[in-house]
Amino acid sequence: MLLAITHLPSPALQHCELTFLKSEPISMEIANLQHQAYCAMLERCGAKVIVLDENLACPDSVFVEDPIIVFDEVAVLTSMGVESRRKESEAMERVFSKYRKIERIVLPAKIEGGDVLKIGKKIFVGESARTNKEGIEALKTIIKPFGYEVIAVKVTGCLHLKTGATALDDKTIFINSHWVDAEAFEGFAKVEALNDEPFGANVLKMGNILCMNEAFPKSIAHIKSLGYTVDSCNISEFVKAEAGLTCMSVPFLSND
């Protein structure tokens, strides 16, 4: 069964961590409606959606991807790149221990799930503002025994790797090469993000459906023109918090 773990937006979302963007007013009324639409999109893609509310006091808790990285064999609790988000870990461990054995990455190694792009057995990990070399090595130590290859990717212009690079399929990357080192994806076909929609390269792949942000209509039209099936929703309020579609859920196959 395909599950997708999500979390209700925190009433304190306005106080989220920002690295590359300036703070803008966030409407919680709109954010809550957009989160509901996001969950509905996941359901249309065949996922059973589980909505958590354990970390409502944490401003960034809606971004459930960052505290945990889920593989078929194990779930890795991350060390998080900023101190304010480390309070989220306890609830994440409790939730995901129902589905996977839990391993933990500890400081000074830093890593967040938004920097981890899984394509088959190749695991691309962004070296970014939130993930350091030690974090990448720690993840490699945990998952290498399961046959995964970890490949480091320099990220310079955006918060996480998946802000600027995601997979359209197992052989094709949608990438903003101004932000992410495209050379790390040797052997993959590359579709370049549009200059006037630089955040459009964040795509959530759910089976054969690509979920995209309605704020980037040119990107959606471009990906459709390449023959992909696209579903979409509007997450404008979460984009103000440096978010993309990928960071708002943790999709994985239940072993039940």
The three-state secondary structure class of 43 is helix
Residue type, 122: K
The question of whether 247 is a catalytic residue gets the answer yes
Tokens of 196: 């006037």
CB-based contact 91:67 (threshold 8 Å): no
233 is catalytic: no
Report CA Rg, the chain. Answer: 17
Exactly one of 160, 211, 222, 233 is catalytic; name it.
160
SS3 251: strand
Q: Which two tokens stand for residue 88?
A: 């989220």
Question: What is the Cα–Cα distance from 49 to 45, expressed in whole angstroms?
Answer: 10
Sheet holding 189-192, edge to edge: 165-169, 172-175, 189-192
Which are the catalytic amino acids? 160, 247
